[in-house]
Amino acid sequence: MTNLFAKDLEHILLHTRGLWEELRGKRIFVTGGTGFFGCWLLESFAHAVEALDLHATAVVLTRDPEAFQRKAPHLAAHPAVELHLGDVRSFRFPRGRFSHVVHAATASSHPEPPDVLFDTIVEGTRRTLEFAVHCGAQKFLLSSSGAVYGKQPVNVTHVPEDFLGAPDPAAVRSAYGEGKRVAEFLCAVHAQKGAIQAKIARCFAFIGAHLPIDVHFAVGNFIRDGLGGGPIRVNGDGTPLRSYLYAADLAVWLWTILCRGASCRPYNVGSDVEISIGALAATVASVIDPAMKVYIARQPDPGHAPERYVPSTQRAQRELGLVVHIGLEEAIRRTVAWHRERAGLGHEACTR
């Protein structure tokens, strides 16, 4: 384990220490274990098991165990981790009882066509909920998304959980957000039946180790450009407003929502400190090399208000005591250092 990642895992353990007794001696089931969220959840779970001698086990659903072993050999070989072969939409139920189910499958960078993406989210959630009931799990965590709100109005600076906006149902680009809306509905149906406590985390934008730097995530692309020697390029006018939560804090929030969140009461997960995409690019440049240039493709239209995707996190702060511990500049610094070390060691994305 690198010193950098060890620091992050200790951070997660420090701020979740009161949660882990609930999992002592238990089995949990995890989907999406090799994705960005899944890597952080499994890394922090394995670390807590070791540090606190929990004797707990995570059974991880994967379509390709060999690929998982190549990508995360230390997790695949960890005594607290078991791999279970299957597709999230149709997997065979593993035997035995489980206390918690974490459904983190289907990332927003999913390469499949919109209709397939929608079906994967919906049918995967349906199947995983069915398994949660079958195995006697008490708690189920759905990794949902701020995409369920649709386009954030320009006059709503921080979108709250009770905002009733929605994606455009006639737009194929809405497949991800619409799929997550249906997934939340399925959770509500199962919770209403008294079958399970369904916890819903509406996730926004994040930064940290394991975040892809070669897809459509702006901060990942900026880090890629910077590590390549620059310049950092912004494909737009740089005005859209976003906020970023560091992945170590993300793991703290997700474990807390799973264990302490109210059933079917969604919690926004993210930072409420907004930054423009142009300023984000400049911040990444300043961390990597203060002399690095940033090129913005277009001039802003003075008559056009900036697009926003920024959550209100008052509910999570007030009800669960969740806060942002690691600021954006430090988050960028840690992420850049991790990628530099991975490049130097020639490791794949989900290794320590």
Per-residue pLDDT of 339-349, as tens digits, reads 998 776 544 54
Taking residues 309-316, report their average pLDDT: 98
Q: Are 331 and 7 in contact (CB under 8 A)?
A: no
Per DSSP, the three-state class of 329 is: helix
**Which three-class secondary structure string do you get for 174-186?**
HHHHHHHHHHHHH
Q: Are 334 and 246 in contact (CB under 8 A)?
A: yes
267 pLDDT more than 70: yes
30 pLDDT more than 50: yes
- pLDDT of amino acid 72: 81
What is the spatial distance between Cα 139 and Cα 258, in angstroms, rounded to a whole number? 7
What is the spatial distance between Cα 211 and Cα 338, in angstroms, rounded to a whole number? 11
Exposure class string for 268-301: b at 16+ Cβ within 10 A, else e: bbbbbebbbbbbbbbbbbebbeeebebebeeeee
296 pLDDT more than 70: yes
Q: Which residues pair with 30 in a beta bridge?
A: 60, 102
- pLDDT of amino acid 108: 57
Q: Are 161 and 314 in contact (CB under 8 A)?
A: no
What is the spatial distance between Cα 175 and Cα 202, in angstroms, rounded to a whole number? 16
What is the spatial distance between Cα 319 and Cα 265, in angstroms, rounded to a whole number? 11
- pLDDT of amino acid 349: 46
CA distances 97 to 104, 138, 312, Å, are 20, 10, 37
CA–centroid distance for 324 within its chain: 15
Share of the chain above pLDDT 70, in %: 95
CA–centroid distance for 291 within its chain: 32
What is the spatial distance between Cα 316 and Cα 201, in angstroms, rounded to a whole number? 10
Count CB-CB contacts under 10 A for residue 348: 12
Q: Taking the CA atoms of 310, 205, 273 and 287 in sequence, report the sign of the dihedral they define.
A: negative
351 pLDDT more than 50: no
What is the spatial distance between Cα 264 and Cα 282, in angstroms, rounded to a whole number? 39
Taking residues 243-264, report their average pLDDT: 98
- pLDDT of amino acid 341: 85
Tell me the Ramachandran region of residue 208: left when phi exceeds 0, alpha when psi lies from -120 to 50, beta otherwise: left
Count CB-CB contacts under 10 A for residue 248: 24
pLDDT, tens digit (0-9, with 9 covering 90-100), for 98-125 = 999 999 987 555 567 999 999 999 999 9
Domains of the chain: 3-345 (3.40.50.720)
| Residue 101 CB-density burial (10 A; 0-12 exposed, 13-18 middle, 19+ buried) | buried
Taking residues 193-216, report their average pLDDT: 92
Alpha helices (H) in the chain, listed in sequence order = 3-16, 36-52, 65-71, 73-76, 114-134, 175-192, 218-227, 247-260, 277-288, 314-320, 328-345
CA distances 148 to 40, 160, 164, 239, Å, are 23, 12, 9, 22
pLDDT, tens digit (0-9, with 9 covering 90-100), for 134-157 = 999 999 999 999 999 999 999 999
